[in-house]
Structure 1
Amino acid sequence: MDRIGFLGVPDVTDEARQIFDEDIAEVGYVMSTSRLWAYQPATMTGLFDLLGQVNAGEHLSLRQRSVLVTACASAFGDSYCSLMWGSRLARASDEETAAGVLKGVDDGLSNSERAMAAWARKVARDPNGTTAADVQELRDAGFSDPQIFTITAFVALRVAFSTVNDALGLRPDAPLRSTAPAAVRDAVTFGHPIADAEDEA
């Protein structure tokens, strides 16, 4: 493979190789995101450290993070994170709930999760269009102002990550064609198509 997205393949440094090894341990292969961010592996590590720091105070659960990323990535039109995090949400709930969130239908979520998903979509689509009433909906769903800040910062950083990947033509990993639940795959009708296996050989 001589390209990653629209760019050539970067040299693999020790920092990048460490990220690759972590991918193999976690999902069984080196993810395309890691190959792309091998241009600046320290930046990728720093971004995810920052996401962890953002979440350190309020401790969003994996399910809550899955709701937020699935909602914001699909609203943003990012197929890669929609498939990855839609699959995680399916494991934390069920396929139909995850597929619904990808389509903007939140029937399978709790009241607080529905408020989070709605806010994530607004932040991803039009952050200048949010209103005090939108924030009040989060308060009404039980979130404190510190929690609302955490949710917003988390979504914004995820959008930043997706922006780089999407702008540089990154396609979702070929294994997602078989590992993502069928309902999740069918719901992701936007963004870059899943890579062909031969493209990642």
Structure 2
Amino acid sequence: MTRLWAWRPDITAAVTAARAAAVTDSALTDEDRAALVVATAAARGDSYCALAWGRRLATLTDADTAANLLRGEVGGVEPRLAALATWATQVVRDPNATTPEDVACLREVGLGDREIFEATIFVSLRLAFSTVNDALGAEPDRQLVETVPAEVAAAVTFGRTASGVFSP
């Protein structure tokens, strides 16, 4: 992935700065952001980010929560994370189909308008980042695949594979 982004360090820095700005002074927690990225990666079919952030979410919560969100299953997941994952999936798949009721679900789990905006910006930036990686052929690193919990690895049945490491 580093080789892909090395062509334009200025753009890499701008994307990194935009992502940092989206989380600075945000009420979104590390768990919230990890759930957003996991759901975004799963909806996009991005195995690299799904594995990296699935591992991170498993560390912040547990492996079953990460695996469930990677499979698009929100039942049994803490309500705030489930609502954020559902929102991320909607934003990725069809942003024009979101409804006031979808936003109300986010409010019901304690998110205000600012946090909903921040979550949406965060998903959009992650989607752009993942699109570049996927379009240019980024594969999960062998070291990454070997360090994710088994539940997370089993849930990533989409995207590119690390050469010979796993096959979805």
Q: Report the TM-score, using the length of structure 1 for normalisation.
A: 0.78
Distance 1:67 1:54 in 2: 15
The answer to whether the Cα contact below 8 Å between 1:97 and 1:107 also exists between their aligned partners in 2 is no
Map 1:136-175; keep pairs closer than 5 Å. 136-175=104-143
Residue of structure 2 equivalent to 1:117? 85
1:185 aligned counterpart, secondary structure = helix
The list of structure 1 runs, each at least 4 consecutive aligned residues, that deviate by more than 4 angstroms after superposition, is: none
Map 1:90-105; keep pairs closer than 5 Å. 90-105=58-73
Distance 2:70 2:140 in 1: 16
Specify every segment of 5 or more residues in structure 2 that has no aligned partner in the other structure, as ranges. none
Q: Report the TM-score, using the length of structure 2 for normalisation.
A: 0.92
Specify every segment of 5 or more residues in structure 1 that has no aligned partner in the other structure, as ranges. 1-32
Pick aligned residue for 1:131 from 99, 119, 136: 99
1:39 aligned counterpart, secondary structure = coil
- Larger CA Rg, structure 1 vs 2: 1
Provide the identity percentage: 46
Residue of structure 1 equivalent to 2:46? 78
Residue of structure 1 equivalent to 2:16? 48
CA change 1:121–1:101 in 2 (3 A) is same
Deviation sequence 1:143-192 (CA, Å, 0-9, x none): 11111000000000000000011111111111122111111111101011
The answer to whether the Cα contact below 8 Å between 2:55 and 2:148 also exists between their aligned partners in 1 is yes
Residues 1:35 and 2:3 are matched in the alignment: yes
The answer to whether the Cα contact below 8 Å between 1:176 and 1:194 also exists between their aligned partners in 2 is no
Cα RMSD for the two superposed structures: 1.4
CA change 1:46–1:59 in 2 (3 A) is farther
Residue of structure 2 equivalent to 1:177? 145
2:35 aligned counterpart, secondary structure = helix
Q: Residue 196 of structure 1: CA displacement? A: 5.0
